[in-house]
Structure 1
Amino acid sequence: MTPADLTCTVLGAVRRAVEEGALGGAVAVPDRVKVERPRPGGSGDYATNAALRLAREARLPAREVAEVLSAELTRHPGIAGVEITGPGFLNITLAHGSRDALVRDTLTNILTSGSGYGQGRALSGQAVELRHRAEVRAAVTADAVRRLLEAQGALVRIDAYEDEAAGPVPAPTPAPGPAPTATLAYEPSPVPAGATAHELHRRFGTDATRWALLRAAAHDRPRLDDGLLVQKESNPFFLVRYAHARSRALVRAATRLGFTAGYEEDAAALGDHPALLAALGDHPAVLASAARLRAPDRVARHLETTAEAFLGFQHTVLPVGDEKPSAAHRSRLALAEAAGTVLAGGLSLLGISAPEYL
């Protein structure tokens, strides 16, 4: 059961509750509900605030609405249990078979889609005109926002000033699908970098400069100091690119040992690494959210989360000593390869290279 499947399941539970009159006669079934990873204090695999959204319309306490929806959801064979937390959040635990299928589907989607994993058509038919002032951080931000929007199907045009642009800006590529009905204007206005593009590129190089300018939220001042060049995992820029290089190194080492990636057993083989599985599964939602909010910093922070989770897992991938490669090793290699693919794809959307060797 994917997050999209679970969203449909929650909507189905709402629809049944409305049809049965359990929420009163005035409640309308929403077009969509939000399903996400549980927040601090939550539990299970996913959570939804559907009960809180419906409570006012139903004129019932949110926890009472949550109890109704919980009873409907637990009828589904793919759901092992539902816990109600806080004012009425529904925390959903998937059944073992559903969790295994989710892992399999996630890895298959990543390895099949490659660097395009997580990109979609959520903004298809939307046209956006980006303008930016003559300042390096504004130019870099506009370019990253363009990449994110186009990755979700939008048609983007940048109205850039001539000086301080961070390299050439590619012409927009028409997106397939319906023609845009209106053009939205957007001008990124991040806190200025405090230096020119030439000064930053000469001191840090293009990739490190872009990372520093994009990692900080637009309202925060970017960190532009010698820490950007430190080759240690305490440096987020190095951490992300190092994790990608390690994933590629593991694939090369496995080839020398005579085995390749392949998810061949149930989720228990990877069950000790929920943080990495969650990060990979959340990647599409992060990209969509970053595009919608014009916030490339969300992608950078998600890549850091993915890299940290991967580096905590990497030591389990290859056989040790005289150990022979097993199905578990092939499954772990698939997870490692998927992590590298997500890291490379995310860096590419930020306009940053992902070297295979560091």
Structure 2
Amino acid sequence: MSVPERAVVTVPGPGGCGDYATNIALQLAGAAGQPPLRVAEILRSRLVDEPSVSDVVVTGPGFLNLSLQGAASAGIVDEILRRGLRYGHADAAGGSVVRLRCAADVRAVVVADSVARVLRSQGDSVRITCDGRPAPEWGSLLGVDLEDSGAPPGPTGLPGLPGAPGQGGLPDVPDLPHLDVTVRPVPASGDPLPLGRDAARWALLHPAGHDRPHITGDHLVQRESNPLFRVRYAHARTRALLHNAADLGFQSEPGPVHDSDATALVAALGDHPRVLAAAASHRTPDRLARHLVSVADATLPLLPAVLPLGEEKPSAAHRARLALAEAAGTVLAGGLSLLGIDAPHHL
């Protein structure tokens, strides 16, 4: 039986219940040759034994509705704060040795640079080889590592250990799989350099590789209509809340957060490692960019309830919400760094 590439987990819709809902039983039913409700009941019997799950209810044609133990969201937040910007990264090197090849086109070079960053986050060793000589300003203005571009690969394949691009040489590692990957995104319709590093990289990376990016001034607009602004604004707000909470004399502390606004955010944060793994596996940094927009859009509704109002004293709920906001800011900053984009504390 084939297993779907990804299981979609969302906030329950009309008729649903609990914290999260998924249609995975409907996806599996056809390949299993079983009715969706039968598959859903089998999955339910397994899920209810998970220590982080308090209840599983089957609704409609076979939707699974999960309720989590109060400590589940706290566990995700605690892991993010413990791992920091490396949340979702592989614990150690030892993946594949990858040579990324791209054309001497500004979008192809930027996409290859970001793909290399994401691959390194998953433990792969990467070198970029460019077919042609990239323009020098792509390095100076867009932050692309051009040290090895245009040069033939070395005898071992690919220098560059997980970490900063262009870092040192790579010894021969015959036990690891060696991959040759060509990155071929559709070229941009204009020159992104006038946008500056951050907006230009976002304009080139946010659309899927098969879509043509439109290079316009909209990427510089400081409004909600600009996805990059929402991502960086959400990050800056979380940093400001940490500063404001310190002024009020309290700090973040992971704990259960039962606010309805927190449900989608916890789901998005918990999904971050899977998104990084998928972006690496499919060489698609656009998946990461769109995920960051989802995290930002789930973060912003939570923020007004983080700090005490008026004469209200900070409580465990405020500390837990602050920790959740801090975790969201951490994921946003870490994701932006893999796209080669800064996450300023102030906008």
2:127 to 148, 154, 157: 157
State the secondary structure of the residue aligned to 1:216: coil
Does the aligned pair in 1 maintain the 2:4–2:27 contact within 8 Å? no
Match of 2:185 in 1: 190
Match of 1:267 in 2: 257
Match of 2:56 in 1: 81
1:323 to partner: Cα distance? 1.7
Match of 1:356 in 2: 345
State the secondary structure of the residue aligned to 1:345: helix
Q: Does 1:70 align with 2:40?
A: no
Give the 3 Å change call, closer, same or farther, for CA 327–70 of structure 1 in structure 2: closer
Distance, in Å, in 1 between the alignment partners of 2:11 and 2:260 is 20
Distance, in Å, in 2 between the alignment partners of 1:32 and 1:102 is 25
State the secondary structure of the residue aligned to 1:273: helix
Match of 1:145 in 2: 115
State the secondary structure of the residue aligned to 1:91: strand
Give the 3 Å change call, closer, same or farther, for CA 63–257 of structure 1 in structure 2: closer
User: Structure 2 counterpart of 1:156, which letter?
Assistant: V
Give the 3 Å change call, closer, same or farther, for CA 187–267 of structure 1 in structure 2: same
Match of 1:15 in 2: none
Give the 3 Å change call, closer, same or farther, for CA 122–83 of structure 1 in structure 2: farther
Distance, in Å, in 1 between the alignment partners of 2:312 and 2:261 is 20
Matches within 5 A, 1:189-338: 189-196=184-191, 200-201=192-193, 203-264=194-255, 266-268=256-258, 270-338=259-327
Q: Alignment RMSD, CA only?
A: 3.0
For residues 84-132 of structure 1, the C-alpha deviation after alignment (integer angstroms, 9 at most, x for no partner) is: 554xx5514135xx3x222111110111111111112699431211011
- The percentage of counterpart residues that share the same residue type is 45
1:49 to 14, 18, 24: 24
Does the aligned pair in 2 maintain the 1:115–1:341 contact within 8 Å? yes
Q: Given the two structures, how large is their TM-score scaled by the length of structure 1?
A: 0.79
Distance, in Å, in 2 between the alignment partners of 1:261 and 1:75 is 31
For residues 14-33 of structure 1, the C-alpha deviation after alignment (integer angstroms, 9 at most, x for no partner) is: xxxxxxxxxxxxx9xx9999
State the secondary structure of the residue aligned to 1:149: helix
Does the aligned pair in 1 maintain the 2:95–2:122 contact within 8 Å? no
Q: Does 1:129 align with 2:102?
A: no
1:51 to partner: Cα distance? 7.5
Does the aligned pair in 1 maintain the 2:275–2:288 contact within 8 Å? yes
Match of 1:93 in 2: 66
Distance, in Å, in 2 between the alignment partners of 1:186 and 1:225 is 30
Structure 1 segments unaligned to the other structure (5+ residues): 1-26
For residues 121-153 of structure 1, the C-alpha deviation after alignment (integer angstroms, 9 at most, x for no partner) is: 699431211011011000000001001111011
For residues 284-328 of structure 1, the C-alpha deviation after alignment (integer angstroms, 9 at most, x for no partner) is: 111111111111111111111111121111111111222222211
- Whichever structure has more helix as a proportion of its residues is 1
State the secondary structure of the residue aligned to 1:129: strand
Match of 2:151 in 1: none
Match of 1:24 in 2: none
Does the aligned pair in 2 maintain the 1:307–1:343 contact within 8 Å? yes
1:55 to partner: Cα distance? 6.2
Distance, in Å, in 2 between the alignment partners of 1:134 and 1:75 is 53
Match of 2:72 in 1: 102
1:73 to partner: Cα distance? 4.4
Distance, in Å, in 2 between the alignment partners of 1:337 and 1:292 is 28
Give the 3 Å change call, closer, same or farther, for CA 272–195 of structure 1 in structure 2: closer
Does the aligned pair in 1 maintain the 2:57–2:64 contact within 8 Å? yes
Q: Given the two structures, how large is their TM-score scaled by the length of structure 2?
A: 0.81
User: Structure 2 counterpart of 1:246, which letter?
Assistant: R
Structure 2 segments unaligned to the other structure (5+ residues): 140-144, 149-158, 163-169
What is the total number of aligned residue pairs between the two structures? 317
Distance, in Å, in 2 between the alignment partners of 1:136 and 1:108 is 39
Bigger RCO (CA 8 Å, 6+ sep): 2
User: Structure 1 counterpart of 2:253, which letter?
Assistant: G
Does the aligned pair in 1 maintain the 2:11–2:21 contact within 8 Å? no
Distance, in Å, in 2 between the alignment partners of 1:322 and 1:254 is 14
Match of 2:9 in 1: 37
